[in-house]
Amino acid sequence: MSDAPKKNLGDKLQSISKPVLFLILILATSIPLWIPGITVPNEPEKPAMDLFAKVMALPEGSTVLVESDWTNSTRGESGGQFKALFRILMRRHIKACIYTAADPQAPKVARDALRMLNDEQRAKHLPTYDEWTDWLSIGFFPSAEATEVAIASDIRKAFAGRKATPPGGTQQDIFNSPVLEKIRSLKDVPAFFLLTASNTSNVVIERLYGKVPLAMMVTGVMGPETQVYYDSGQLIGLSKGLKGVYDLEILMENGMTMKDGTRIEGFKGMVNRDQGSLYYPTLHVALTLLILAVVVGNVGMMLNRRKAK
Amino acid sequence: MEYLAQAPTFWNGANGSSELWLKIAVAFVVGLLIMFGLMSVPAQFRRAVVAAATFLAGLTYILYWLWPEPIGRQPGTLPSGSIEGVGFFLDDSQQVIGNFYNILSGLLLGLGVYSILRIHTRKLVRQQQDWAFSGVLLLGMLLMIIFGFWDFHDHAGPGAALLDNPANWHWQNYTADFLFDGLLQTMDAGMFSVIAFYILSAAYRAFRIRSIEATILLATAVIVMLSLMGAISYLSTKGINAMSPTLANGQPDTGAFIQNFSLANISQWLQDTLQTSSIRGIDFGVGIGALAMAMRLWLSLERGGVSQ
């Protein structure tokens, strides 16, 4: 016979074991993944709407700079943002020059994401978004500070010496590519997009603000500190975390109406809903579970306090 | 006014030429000699050299920040005076200094690789505790280097465009893809996702409303979390719209006072008013601290490091 004191309800509510909590988390967050196509009602946030409106207003045929500083550790959010951005750029025939200043793995991760988009295009017999003619990946720059300063000073010299391979040809200077051939300075670039899960957002603001219109796509953790730059008017648009991805996907599907009544049409009938739509219900479940866990713990504490009185 | 390596001068060479490779090799040897030379001289002399180099490196950026920027400069434009001349010089120097920084940061990556190799090779050779893990690490590193470069080489060749379609891949491309995407990236994502378990466990055990401050914090956190749930936010807006007066066109009056109490608006207010100002305050403090630290480093007032 055990001598251990019998636990009351308050104690029980405060002492759910870790394995039980973890099992509930696994089960609860897995369920939505088995039911694809759930449409969660949603109101897109203003920063994401601004981002969508600005991307949709970019001139066709222009070239944007994309600093892709994410890897698969944040693929749930950053991967969705990257794919949403490039789906729009591809469909609007906007060229992109991609580089990274945060992680040596990032260029390969970006290439793989673009390959997935092209696989999707091929499967639907649609034109692909091709390296050299539509986009360039010019690799990793180890020092973010020095690179951003150099880009602000003279983009052609900052990227000098980098090479890429045209279809069927041998390596050539990236400035021979249709992506960069018309770029003389940052003034020729209509927008700069930063996709990041790290503090390169601060470096970009410090070094490039005022030189080129900046937009950022950051993880949920980075959201609050990046919101500061959006509120101050330093960013033309901002996508924060999974909610930001879902906002963009819904805007791509349904389009949006601006305050002045101007209508921006989306891409109805095309693949718009991807990672954001797949993972957003899971985020709901995870957040609900988190709130429930806090409530249960506090109810247990209050029951014990009442009993002690 | 071109600076150092930008013009076809003694300081550079054509890309890929043997002249450039020779200059790189000479520069590397000279750099090593300077480094070993500095290590062998008395600390007092070394300190002066390091302090002067640090000061000059920092001075370039400070001058670039403060000096009047050349306006409307076109290739071939000559400076109209000494002030603009210095501006041109500083402008040109940014590319060279940027390259210096990128090369130095690249060397740090190389230093990290060297350090890993040294530690784990020794552990493996001496069969110290957990030497098998070191063996797996070194094998993984070797395989990734071999297949990574092989794949990179294929992507840089004439058939690069074909490799965009996986149907055209060779076995080395599949192996590189398996190592990078199949193993490394998946393990990376797996490790990061473990955080969810810690967050849930920590929130359950530690988040107790034992004080007024904790209650405010909890209420704020719950509002922000609920606002991230589109379904809840949407229902809240619907409810507030139903209570809001309607305009002539039948739409709810979005300017009505009650609209302030929708979840989306409360969350927005929290973010714009409380969160933004708090983060700005923190950033401001961090900025002042960084400035003070930067001044100490720039002027070599900080003790320790290579100058000692």
* pLDDT value of position A2: 57
Chain-chain contact of B201 with A18 (C-beta, under 8 angstroms):
yes
Pairing of strands A95-100, A63-69: parallel
* pLDDT value of position B99: 82
- For A73, name the nearest residue in chain B, comparing CA atoms only: B189
Q: Can you tell me the mean pLDDT for A70-96?
A: 94
Instruction: Show Cβ contacts of residue A265 under 8 Å, excluding neighbours closer than 6 positions.
Output: A255
Is the pLDDT score of B14 beyond 80?
A: no
Range name among A75-89, A125-139, A270-284, B70-84 with the lowest pLDDT average: B70-84
pLDDT in tens, B111-150: 899 999 999 999 999 999 999 999 999 999 999 999 999 9
Chain A residues 239-298 with CB within 8 Å of chain B: 241, 243, 246, 280, 283-284, 286-291, 293-294, 296-298
* pLDDT value of position B77: 82
* pLDDT value of position A250: 94
* Min Cα–Cα distance to chain A from B148, Å: 10
Helices A106-123 & A80-91, crossing angle to 10 degrees?
50
Is the pLDDT score of A69 beyond 90?
A: yes
β-strand partners of A66 = A98, A193
* pLDDT value of position A180: 96
A136 contacts A164 by C-beta, under 8 angstroms? yes
* SS3 readout for chain B: CCCHHHCCCCCCCCCCCHHHHHHHHHHHHHHHHHHHHHHHCCHHHHHHHHHHHHHHHHHHHHHHHHCCCCCCCCCCCCCCCHHHHHHHHHHHHHHHHHHHHHHHHHHHHHHHHHHHHHHHHHHHHCCCCCHHHHHHHHHHHHHHHHHHHHHHHHHHCCCHHHHHCHHHCCHHHHHHHHHHHHHHHHHHHHHHHCHHHHHHHHHHHHCCCCCHHHHHHHHHHHHHHHHHCHHHHHHHHHHHHHHCCECCCCCECCCCHHHHHCHHHHHHHHHHHHHHHHHHHHHHHHHHHHHHHHHHHHCCCCCCHHHC
Range name among A229-233, B85-89, B105-109 with the lowest pLDDT average: B105-109
Query: pTM surpassing 0.90?
Result: no
* pLDDT value of position A177: 95
Chain-chain contact of B231 with A284 (C-beta, under 8 angstroms):
yes
Q: Which residues on chain B are in Cβ contact (under 8 Å) with A149?
A: 61, 64, 94, 98
Is the pLDDT score of B15 beyond 80?
A: no
Is the pLDDT score of A105 beyond 60?
A: yes
Q: Can you tell me the mean pLDDT for A118-145?
A: 92
Per-residue pLDDT band for A113 (boundaries 50, 70, 90) equals very high
User: Above pLDDT 90, what percent of chain B?
Assistant: 29
| Position with higher pLDDT, A4 vs B57 | B57
Range name among A199-213, A230-244, B24-38, B95-109 with the lowest pLDDT average: B95-109
Is the pLDDT score of B13 beyond 90?
A: no
User: Above pLDDT 70, what percent of chain B?
Assistant: 94
In eight-state DSSP terms, residue A182 is T
The residue with tokens 């003389």 is: A184
Chain-chain contact of A21 with B95 (C-beta, under 8 angstroms):
no
Per-residue pLDDT band for B244 (boundaries 50, 70, 90) equals confident
Is the pLDDT score of A185 beyond 60?
A: yes
Task: Tell me if residue A188 falls in helix, strand or coil.
Answer: helix
Is the pLDDT score of B237 beyond 80?
A: yes
In degrees rounded to 5, what are phi and psi of residue B264? -60, -40
Is the pLDDT score of B306 beyond 70?
A: no
- Give whichever of A50-54, A140-144, A195-199, B64-68 has the largest mean pLDDT: A50-54
ipTM: 0.80
Q: Can you tell me the mean pLDDT for B83-97?
A: 85
- For A298, name the nearest residue in chain B, comparing CA atoms only: B208
Q: Which residues on chain B are in Cβ contact (under 8 Å) with A203?
A: none
Give chain B's mean pLDDT. Answer: 86
pLDDT in tens, B64-79: 889 998 887 777 788 8
